[in-house]
Amino acid sequence: MADLIALQEAIIKGKRNDVPGLVQAALDEGMSPQTIINEHMILAMKEVGQRFEQKKIFVPEMMIAARAMQAGLEVIKPLIGQGGAGGGLGTVVMGTVFGDLHDIGKNLVILMLESSGFKVVNLGENVPAAKFVEAAREHQAKLVGLSSLLTTGDPYVKATVAALKESDLSGKVKVMCGGAALTPRFVLEECQADGYAPDAVAAVRLAKDLLGFA
Ligand code: B1M
């Protein structure tokens, strides 16, 4: 039987070489990629965050845990990628806001959007507001997605939403935000973005909703 406790432990301890095999074992037993990610791998990263807060681990351990998580996601990626409708639902520009280097959650959202039929332009991490605006214009995106994991990123989320809303793209592009640092109240009321999603599955639902595909 697939050892999911061992999988979580391997991520928490940053055992990058063990994680792919443990993920594969769970897949071989018929467990769905979504269940493995949402109910086991993300849980492990939450535990990593808690241990960091409690000063039981530090940045280097957090970094090796992130690498182990990524090694597991590489096994799952091709499976989730199947079934995309070739970008027919339109283009989404996605990035992590200025000052923030966290990319795992953003990349999961991108994976889910692509597999649901969106074309995604990934701007990466630490993305200034002006770059979101430029890219949305260049790629004629219908939707821009901002990911933010740090509370210190709040001003940049607000500034990026404002930059998009005050640009010539106003009314042409919707803006959705997500990431552990954000709350629906901050995103919708303070930033006046068009939508907030707490996770990757909700992000796909929201993207379809905002663009009228729901
Ligand atoms: Co950082 N980090 N980190 N970190 N890190 C957090 C975010 C933290 C909560 C840990 C903690 O203290 N508990 C904390 C932030 C506290 C705060 O601001 N309130 C923190 C800190 C403080 C820091 C540093 C400042 C530490 C330091 O240097 N002293 C530093 C900042 C560096 C920087 O960005 N400038 C830092 C660095 C790092 C690493 C580089 C070591 C590493 C990131 C590696 C990487 O991303 N490549 C790291 C990690 C791994 C974490 C934790 C442990 C895990 C993040 C993660 O990947 N989760 C994290 C603790 C936590 O989140 N509980 C923590 C798994 C991922 C699948 O979930 O990203 O939440 P998540 O994405 C979810 C949803 O949020 C949502 O869907 C995703 C999938 O379900 N979502 C969206 C995300 N984006 C979305 C966009 C959407 C919609 C939904 O629409 C557009």
Contact predicate 12/51, CB 8 Å: yes
Instruction: Mention the CATH class of domain 4-80.
Output: mainly alpha
Mean pLDDT of 9-15: 98
Angstrom distance (rounded) from CA 66 to CA 3? 20
**How many CB atoms lie under 10 A from the CB of residue 199?**
16
Between 9 and 87, the more confident residue is 9
Residues paired with 65 in a beta bridge: none
**Positive/negative CA dihedral, 48, 54, 56, 59:** positive
What SS3 class is residue 14?
coil
Residue (of 150, 131, 147) closest to 139 by Cα position: 131
Q: How confident is the model at residue 84 (pLDDT cuts 50, 70, 90)?
A: low
Report the pocket of ligand 1 as residue ranges, CB < 6 Å.
42, 45-46, 48-49, 52-53, 59, 62-63, 66, 99-106, 108-109, 145-147, 149-151, 176-181, 197, 199-200, 203
For a pocket test of ligand 1, which of 64, 97, 149 has the largest count of ligand atoms closer than 8 A to its C-beta? 149
Q: Which CATH number fits domain 91-210: 3.40.50.300, 3.40.50.280, 3.90.550.10, 3.65.10.10?
A: 3.40.50.280
Distinct helix (H) and strand (E) counts, the chain = 10, 5
Q: Where are the domains of the chain?
A: 4-80, 91-210
Kindly state the average pLDDT of the residues 113-125. Answer: 94
Query: What is the mean predicted confidence (pLDDT) over 24-41?
Result: 94
Cα angle vertex 20, ends 14, 26, to 5°? 115
CA distances for 200 relative to 1, 47, 60, 137, 179, angstroms: 28, 19, 26, 24, 10
Number of Cβ atoms within 10 Å of the Cβ of 170: 9
Closest Cα to residue 68, out of 21, 32, 114?
Answer: 21
Query: Which of 176, 153, 152, 154 has its CA nearest to residue 164?
Result: 176
Residue to probe by mutation, ligand 1, list 62, 116, 191, most atoms within 8 Å of CB = 62
Kindly report the CA angle at 145 between 144 and 149, in degrees rounded to 5?
A: 150
pLDDT of residue 208: 96
How far, in Å, CA of 136 to CA of 127, rounded?
13
Residue 91 CA neighbour count, 13 Å, CB half? 13
- The whole-number average pLDDT for the span 83-101 is 87
pTM over 0.75, yes/no: yes
Instruction: Write down the pLDDT at residue 85.
Output: 57
Residues in a beta bridge with 94 = 122, 145
